[in-house]
């Protein structure tokens, strides 16, 4: 995976350099996308592009490029079969450190790279994830996919220290999302509950297709916040993200979910999700 994209050129990792006055570096003034690649094809690229353009718009970062072609080139040049493409755009380079934005015609810094990763045959899908809950102390615009990921990273480290796989964050008692995934439960009476789209969560690309598949399975869907207690008493729980796809959760704060094994409905949703995105990607790229 030696070839990366930087500001219009495909170069080797070791020759890619950016300025220390880049706003992405000094202020996390940057947005990003992580796109999964399965069988050498980008999954749900159009939805990633829409979200990226929305993130750029919310922060008034002027950047445009053929994001899909750039990502496809990286997959091809690195011969990536399964893994992710990471795309990042910052507001660009300042003359000196200043909170105020440089002029709007400052060139953004755009880079992208590819990384191999096992997505489909992830053994975690068979054993299920264990999680802890922690307060959500992030900023109030979690709907924008910025590179300000320090709190999420701290919570991931707390999860590791607690001997579990990850953390779900909560405002008071109400779960928002995982450190880098959207969070869901299926209640004892079979209702799939997903936090509503608002400023407290990232509008996940995987979430959109997962909900489509759940609808086809005729599951009742409620888009609302759910409490930590509701989650502990749920029949099933799971997360979605471009790297974990649809991943069962089997333990929350030490409480077993259901019988402690990945839920049946979750397994079916994962299967159907995978079939649908692979079908779609084979015709679009
Ligand atoms: N994270 N919520 C948060 C906070 C995330 O960081 C992510 C993705 C998601 C799921 O979004 P999607 O389904 O579009 O991947 C939800 C990526 C994978 C990351 O930061 O690596």
Extents of the domains making up the chain? 3-116, 124-283
Q: Does residue 206's CB lie within 6 angstroms of at least one atom of ligand 1? A: yes
44 lines ligand 1 (CB under 6 A): no
Task: Check pLDDT > 70 for residue 285.
Answer: no
Please choose from 204, 207, 245 the residue to mutate so as to test ligand 1's pocket, defined by most ligand atoms within 8 A of CB: 204
Question: pTM of this prediction?
Answer: 0.97
The domain defined by 3-116 carries CATH number 3.30.470.10:
yes
Q: How far is it, in rounded angstroms, from Cα 6 to Cα 79?
A: 18
**Mean pLDDT across the chain, nearest whole number?**
97
Q: List the single range of 146-150, 196-200, 264-268, 277-281 with lowest mean pLDDT.
A: 277-281
CB of residue 177 inside a 6 A radius of ligand 1: yes
Determine the distance separating the centroid of ligand 1 and the alpha carbon of 145, expressed in angstroms. Answer: 8
What does the pLDDT look like over 10-58, one tens digit per residue? 999 999 999 999 999 999 999 999 999 999 999 999 999 999 999 999 9
DSSP state of 41: E
Backbone phi and psi for residue 210, each to the nearest 5 degrees, phi listed first = -60, -45
The whole-angstrom separation of Cα 251 and Cα 231 is: 10
What distance in Å separates the CA atoms of residue 99 and residue 107, rounded to the nearest whole number? 17
Tell me if residue 268 is catalytic: no
Nearest CA to ligand 1 atom 8: 180
Helix (H, G, I), strand (E, B) or coil at 229: helix
CB-side exposure of 276: number of CA atoms within 13 Å? 19
CATH code that applies to domain 124-283: 3.20.10.10
């Amino acid at each position: 995976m030696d070839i990366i994209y930087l500001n219009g050129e495909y170069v080797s990792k070791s020759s890619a350099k950016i300025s220390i006055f880049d706003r992405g570096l000094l202020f996390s003034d940057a947005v990003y996308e992580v796109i999964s690649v399965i069988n050498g094809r980008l999954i749900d690229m159009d939805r990633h592009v829409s979200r990226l353009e929305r993130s750029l718009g919310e922060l008034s970062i002027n950047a445009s490029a053929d994001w899909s072609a750039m990502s496809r080139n990286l997959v091809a040049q690195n011969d990536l079969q399964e893994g992710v493409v990471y795309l990042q755009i910052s507001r660009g380079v300042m003359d000196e450190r200043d909170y105020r934005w440089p002029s709007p015609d400052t060139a953004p810094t755009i880079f992208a790279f590819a990384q191999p990763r096992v997505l489909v045959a992830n053994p975690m899908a068979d054993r299920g994830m264990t999680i802890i809950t922690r307060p959500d102390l992030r900023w109030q615009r979690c709907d924008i996919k910025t590179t300000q990921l320090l709190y999420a990273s701290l919570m991931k480290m707390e999860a590791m220290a607690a001997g579990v796989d990850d953390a779900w964050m909560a405002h008071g008692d109400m779960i928002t999302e995982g450190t880098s995934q959207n969070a869901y439960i299926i209640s004892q009476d079979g209702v799939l509950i997903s936090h509503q789209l608002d400023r407290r969560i990232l509008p996940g690309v995987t979430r959109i297709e997962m909900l489509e598949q759940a609808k086809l399975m005729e599951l009742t869907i409620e888009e609302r916040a759910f409490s930590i207690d509701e989650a502990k008493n749920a029949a099933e729980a799971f997360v979605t993200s471009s790297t974990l796809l649809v991943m069962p959760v089997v333990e929350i704060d030490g409480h077993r979910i259901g019988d402690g094994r990945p839920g049946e409905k979750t397994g079916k949703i994962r299967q159907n999700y995978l079939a649908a995105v692979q079908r779609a990607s084979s015709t679009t790229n």
